[in-house]
Structure 1
Amino acid sequence: MIEDVEGETPRLEGDARPTQFFYVYEQGGAIVGWALGAERGNDAGYVAVDRVIVHPDHRRCGVARALVERVLADHADIEVLMAAWDPELVPFYESLGFRELEDGTMSKSPPH
């Protein structure tokens, strides 16, 4: 189950940018994954996904896919950007419709 956590959302250490969404994936009463990010700037025109984290015991079980799909569903009318910290994750993001930009950022534009 994915839950949108309302109220105070976490900040990454040293990050002054506000977090506007924080989703957790729960299984058996435990949080096994989470995603956070925010729309950037005034009328920036994109959403930045700062982190998608999955507990090692729950990787390759659809948790990250479900979290990213939720982000895409909730922000379907705006470009979604995320960094593929691990080059091995590029095919995963491409399978969700992202394309890799020259700087390594993954981008998914809204349908036209």
Structure 2
Amino acid sequence: MPLASMSHIAQEKSKTSYGGGDYVLVKLIMRGKEYRYAAVCSKYDDEDGELTVTFLKVCNKDGTEFKINDNDIADVPYKDVIEKLPVPNIIVKRNTVLHKFKKSINVYEK
């Protein structure tokens, strides 16, 4: 089997590994600048090759605590997913629900 075909198969398998509730790091290009955002997936559209995500907003300088930005939902092309993130712990701090990752997430927010 040619290498290109094997790579295509690997890509197809990894696409199906994303589903509702998965955490991802996605890139967005705005005005020629690349930004990286943490997000949580709500669904994957196989036909369009897109994930519907709700973006998270970083809440500490360490990049480990995030809160859901309920009004920031988008369809992101699968090719813009940088990586799947580990499942964070859910904590409550000052009446705010936070998603706390064990390691810093390399976000670059606008």
Q: Say whether the fold is shared (TM-score over 0.5).
A: no
Question: TM-score, normalized by length of structure 1?
Answer: 0.32
Instruction: Give 1 or 2 for the bigger CA radius of gyration.
Output: 2
Question: TM-score, normalized by length of structure 2?
Answer: 0.33
Structure with the larger helix share = 1
Structure with the larger strand share = 2
